[in-house]
Structure 1
């Protein structure tokens, strides 16, 4: 048996190969979920989209492999990294974090939630930039004033944090409550909006 020579592949070559694979998969109709990671002031974010729109934003403290596995199980097993397909998402997030964007214009896919949770998550973008509401106020706004805990659960399981602004929902006493990305991230987002919106 003869040893074949190994040819080093640099990062640029790997990036081109990944892009070509993603392009070929998309052209062949076999790419259902595209993803990439983006840097942000609150740490790396994994963003994923279907043909319908942005389906997942995950924080660095979440296990990205577990997030991708959940997408494969709940949306489609045809998941592939594709940076160009998520360029618009990366651009809007960058604009938001630099204080140049107060609302997102991205199509959204709520496939990772359903029922009451999805109803709450669809309501959250109606809370204006730099504003907050209590869990109770959100429950009242969607016509279910006794569902305060359920609103909290819907916020805690929001598959599209930052873009669908669950960070704008606080406890009635003004406390932060919980946040999937951690309380430090929630505080940072609220501070960003307070200082940028002034």
Structure 2
């Protein structure tokens, strides 16, 4: 079964191209993220690419089986999947990823917990990327497990959506800006 990201654009293609764009354009951001997070640059590079792959994974939910243009609140489903996939990660890494994914359409301007969000994947998405770090290798496997393997029924806490502070604020804004730029460019090129 093929899931769509938008009219005429397969979700798998969209995620691959957004992640590729983020990898290429995010080279300047990785060293800065690494400094802010206190991690190796490889982990920061993986975070950037992972966010590109994860941002629209919520569109694979069964709720959208007949959708091709409008996927209301898919970013909430994506954020829940990211939070679960990065459960073993340092909270700062998890928070930056959830923040960028949840807000990638500038959603959740009014801060509030997302409440219970169900994510039931309905299609298999194959990813070509191989992360540099074990953390993101595990997270990728959790995020793109076989359809019907798991149903996430969870909440994204307000803590993950609140404005970041200090250097993390600027790191989050840069990651979100990069995602938004790549997402728009890829969608504009591929959708009919």
- Which of these two proteins has the greater Rg computed from alpha carbons? 1
TM-score range, shorter chain: under 0.3
Structure richer in helix, relative to its length: 2
TM-score, normalisation: structure 1: 0.25
TM-score, normalisation: structure 2: 0.26
